[in-house]
Structure 1
Amino acid sequence: MALILLLALACGVAVGNVYFPQVVSPSVAADLDVAPEVAAQVVTATQFGYAAGIVLLVPLGDRIPHRRLIVSLLVLTGLGLLAAGSAPTLGPLLAAGVFVGVTTVVAPIIGPMAAGLVSEDRRGMISGMLLSGALGGMLLSRALGGTLAQWLGWRAPYLVAAALVLIVALFLLRALPTTTPPSAQRYPALLAEPLRLLRTEPELRRSCLYQATVFAGFSAVWTGVTLLLTGPAYGLGASAVGVLALVNAATMLCTPIAGRQVDRRGPDTVNLVCLIAVIASSPVLAIGGLGGTLGLAGLACGSLLLDIAMQSGMVANQVRIYGLRPEARSRLSTAYMACAYVGGAAGSWLGTGAYGQAGWPGVCALVALLATLALACHLMAVYGRRLRLVDILVNEGDSRGRP
């Protein structure tokens, strides 16, 4: 259990590197004398780098011993964070952000590894703990990053994150067990395998679509809410975004519950509830545009509902894909996480554009539109499966009734 807790901590520290730039971009804009919309490109750069790292590096989890791979990536991430924290202009900061995003992909490597370390009847519990750790890193990185940026400048979050990553790497170097890679495929074949799985596994494609659209809305909200809270409607500092993120810490308690519901009712039922909840979060979030106490309450309740729905949906999707091909979990994870984070990076970009064109209401409308698209596809898939099942039952009945 101690090892699982350490792995959950590693997931949180690594994932946090993707999210704390969302709350430090206003400080970057002020210090480097660029527009807030331009400074927000740091968020997009890091998330696009993360998506690239998933595609290029996560498949190696099936090829390279986990201890060597995970520790090496953490060390490289620490060096990238140090480079970002000392960047003199926006250009080097963007480049360092991409590098950090590429290398901080240990969470989707740890997940498949942990699934192979425990018995099948404990995989749901372990997956829930790792996801809770990643979620904790996501939330705490915003809170601590915003506070550090406001009091010590935008460079401080990068330097603190670098120290944390390197410390975790040292602990994992001593704690991780020796594992035997399940694949001997060459690197080009490993890179091609997730594409083949996307082509041949319709359930994987469904999971990817659901998570990409919901995560796009999630990223749009957190990119836009930074501009909203630090803009004229509220006039707050970057730490206010971090405090808002802390409200959503309750989501960490929901992932084990969601896992149990997936076991009892299946991934489709949980996905349906989650997509409806994302749509419902949009009008609640829109109240945030009113400002004042009522607006803050709307942002807190709406973002909490959105967080719970997204994370619970992720549990359902992961349960679905890990049951498809147990011998190819890293490659399944590559396909799934790449689609999710391309959606997240696109959501940050779309959210910035929506905020620039239509303000906060435009961001909320974007969330509802993306979730409605996913919901329509989900209903079509479930309805189509039921029709096929009815046809099979009717055909079997006809064949049995024949003389």
Structure 2
Amino acid sequence: MSSKEHTALTTDSNSLTQRSTVLTLAIACGLAVANVYYNQPLLADMGRSLNISVQQVGFIPTLTQTGYAVGLLLLVPLGDRMERRWLIVSMLGLLAGILVVEATAPNIAWLSVSSFVLGFCSIVAHLVIPLVAQLTHPSERGKVIGTLLSGMILSVLLARSVSGIIGEYLGWRAVYGISAGVMLILAFVIQGRIPVSKPSSTLSYQQLMQSLVQLVREQPVLREAALNVALVFAAFNAAWVTLVFLLESPAYNYDSRVAGLFGLVGLIGVFTTPIVGRVADKRGPRMLIGVAVVVSLSAFVILWIAGGTHLLGLILGVLILDLGMHTGYVSNQIRVYNLVPNAESRLNTVYMVTNYTGGALGSFLGTYVWGLWQWNGVCALGLFLLTVAFIAHFSVRKRKSTVV
């Protein structure tokens, strides 16, 4: 990359990676990204409240995840050239404001716009994780990233469960009002917790954006990892977005509270993600990616055969799907962070934009096929997406990345 790039962090790496500081950062990451997922157990309640159809309200998660992908593209690269504490605190403040707007949405148009902007501002985790990755030795990077991501996974799972419970008793608007207050508290905590650091690059914003194209062009491993995680996440989201409709269908007759609690099945990811990181450090992440695809495929087979009518089959299928998705997510991300020193934020941008674009597409397609073919259509979609991921992964020979 340009000779103008340089490592200029004034923060002592030991102070930044102390256990208490990492815990604080993990909480901030988790609670910020949780805003993207609050709506999943609340879709049915939103639809009834605003008197809109399943297809209309089903598009809300797509808008939120699309906004998240756009935020990753336009905002995350700034982590390589701006003071990170100021950037993180500013984004938390913006999140608080848009959450208030979301909570007061009077119609589908207002809800749609605010959902997109909410996703756009929920990228705090991807300002924090590249910083930690940059200051961590490659031999320990998987363990540290795995630990941070396990905290994020826990927050996402609790987000679905807590939002379902709050939505049941206080209404879906209360979920976003409460979250707005939490974001303000986090902003004050982070302001006093993270030391000031200088950026790792002096590239202009235009040059940063241009370098994204260069990274994609010159890093085949980046392209491979991004495509793989996008397909896996698309299949994962197709199942999760439609799960609430399945649980409220005559096959189960559960309410949004149960749909939210169902997310606790995915707690397996909290415990397995750090293990995946350690295994990736020792054995290499590419092998684990193949395992993740095969595991995810087996999950959709179970969901198709038994998940539509048997609760035990649904729980088992979701549990295995969460295991496969999180294994693939962590393993692909470790591959990406090991490619180019001092470009962690931009590598993360390419990876996560592709990831959440796939997630948004999966949400849209999942809702669409549910309207046509119900749960069978969703499972067929998941199997198709993962079959493409399987073919792409096992048809590509292991290659060394090109140094940028």
Q: If the TM-score is normalised by the length of the shorter chain, which range does it land in?
A: over 0.9
Asked if the contact 1:197/1:332 (under 8 Å) is kept, the reply is yes
**CA distance in 1: counterparts of 2:255 and 2:213, whole angstroms:** 43
Amino acid at match of 2:34: G
Deviations along 1:232-273, whole A, 9 cap, x unmatched? 222211111111101211210001111122122212210111
How far the C-alpha of 1:321 sits from its partner, in A, is: 0.9
How far the C-alpha of 1:312 sits from its partner, in A, is: 1.0
How far the C-alpha of 1:121 sits from its partner, in A, is: 4.0
Of the three residues 305, 308, 316, the one matched with 1:301 is 316
The aligned counterpart of 2:217 is: 199
The aligned counterpart of 2:230 is: 212
**CA distance in 1: counterparts of 2:399 and 2:151, whole angstroms:** 35
The aligned counterpart of 2:245 is: 227
Amino acid at match of 2:72: I
Distance 1:208 1:238, change over 3 A: same
Tell me, what secondary structure is at the counterpart of 2:127? helix
**CA distance in 1: counterparts of 2:308 and 2:242, whole angstroms:** 15
Tell me, what secondary structure is at the counterpart of 2:396? helix
**CA distance in 2: counterparts of 1:342 and 1:223, whole angstroms:** 15
Asked if the contact 1:233/1:289 (under 8 Å) is kept, the reply is no
Asked if the contact 2:26/2:151 (under 8 Å) is kept, the reply is yes
Amino acid at match of 1:133: G
Work out which of the two has the higher radius of gyration on C-alpha atoms and give 1 or 2.
1
Counterpart check, 1:152 vs 2:170: yes
**CA distance in 2: counterparts of 1:322 and 1:95, whole angstroms:** 33
Counterpart check, 1:359 vs 2:374: yes
Deviations along 1:73-120, whole A, 9 cap, x unmatched? 011011101100011111111111111100110111111111234444
How far the C-alpha of 1:35 sits from its partner, in A, is: 1.0
Of the three residues 263, 266, 273, the one matched with 1:248 is 266
Counterpart check, 1:46 vs 2:61: no
The aligned counterpart of 1:62 is: 80
How far the C-alpha of 1:285 sits from its partner, in A, is: 1.2
Amino acid at match of 2:70: A
Amino acid at match of 2:233: F
The aligned counterpart of 1:347 is: 362
How far the C-alpha of 1:361 sits from its partner, in A, is: 1.0
How far the C-alpha of 1:365 sits from its partner, in A, is: 1.2
How far the C-alpha of 1:346 sits from its partner, in A, is: 0.2
Distance 1:289 1:299, change over 3 A: closer
The aligned counterpart of 2:326 is: 311
How far the C-alpha of 1:133 sits from its partner, in A, is: 1.3
How far the C-alpha of 1:176 sits from its partner, in A, is: 0.6
**CA distance in 2: counterparts of 1:119 and 1:317, whole angstroms:** 18
Asked if the contact 1:108/1:330 (under 8 Å) is kept, the reply is yes
Equivalent runs, 1:172-187 vs 2, <5 Å: 172-187=190-205
Amino acid at match of 1:322: Y
Amino acid at match of 2:337: Y
Distance 1:21 1:278, change over 3 A: same
Bigger shift: residues 331-340 or 308-317: 308-317
Asked if the contact 2:29/2:125 (under 8 Å) is kept, the reply is yes
Equivalent runs, 1:363-402 vs 2, <5 Å: 363-382=378-397
How far the C-alpha of 1:170 sits from its partner, in A, is: 1.1
Structure 2: 5+ residue runs without aligned partners? 1-18
The aligned counterpart of 2:339 is: 324
Count of aligned pairs between the two proteins: 382
Asked if the contact 2:59/2:367 (under 8 Å) is kept, the reply is no
TM-score (normalised: structure 2): 0.92
The aligned counterpart of 2:351 is: 336
Asked if the contact 2:141/2:281 (under 8 Å) is kept, the reply is no
Asked if the contact 2:141/2:334 (under 8 Å) is kept, the reply is no
How far the C-alpha of 1:371 sits from its partner, in A, is: 0.9
Asked if the contact 2:143/2:281 (under 8 Å) is kept, the reply is no
How far the C-alpha of 1:192 sits from its partner, in A, is: 2.2
Q: Which has the higher contact order (CA 8 A, sep 6+)?
A: 2
Asked if the contact 1:128/1:259 (under 8 Å) is kept, the reply is yes
Equivalent runs, 1:87-106 vs 2, <5 Å: 87-106=105-124
Of the three residues 137, 140, 149, the one matched with 1:131 is 149
Amino acid at match of 2:221: E
The aligned counterpart of 1:165 is: 183
Asked if the contact 1:132/1:255 (under 8 Å) is kept, the reply is yes
Tell me, what secondary structure is at the counterpart of 2:196? coil
CA RMSD of aligned residues (A): 1.4
**CA distance in 2: counterparts of 1:288 and 1:159, whole angstroms:** 38
Distance 1:385 1:324, change over 3 A: closer
Tell me, what secondary structure is at the counterpart of 2:47? helix
Amino acid at match of 1:316: S
Tell me, what secondary structure is at the counterpart of 2:250? coil
How far the C-alpha of 1:289 sits from its partner, in A, is: 4.9
Asked if the contact 2:221/2:399 (under 8 Å) is kept, the reply is no
Deviations along 1:194-245, whole A, 9 cap, x unmatched? 2221111000000001100000001100011111112222221111111110
How far the C-alpha of 1:36 sits from its partner, in A, is: 2.0
**CA distance in 2: counterparts of 1:253 and 1:290, whole angstroms:** 27
**CA distance in 1: counterparts of 2:318 and 2:143, whole angstroms:** 25
Asked if the contact 2:139/2:281 (under 8 Å) is kept, the reply is no
**CA distance in 1: counterparts of 2:241 and 2:330, whole angstroms:** 24
Counterpart check, 1:71 vs 2:89: yes
Deviations along 1:32-52, whole A, 9 cap, x unmatched? 111122112211111000000
Amino acid at match of 1:105: I
Amino acid at match of 1:143: S
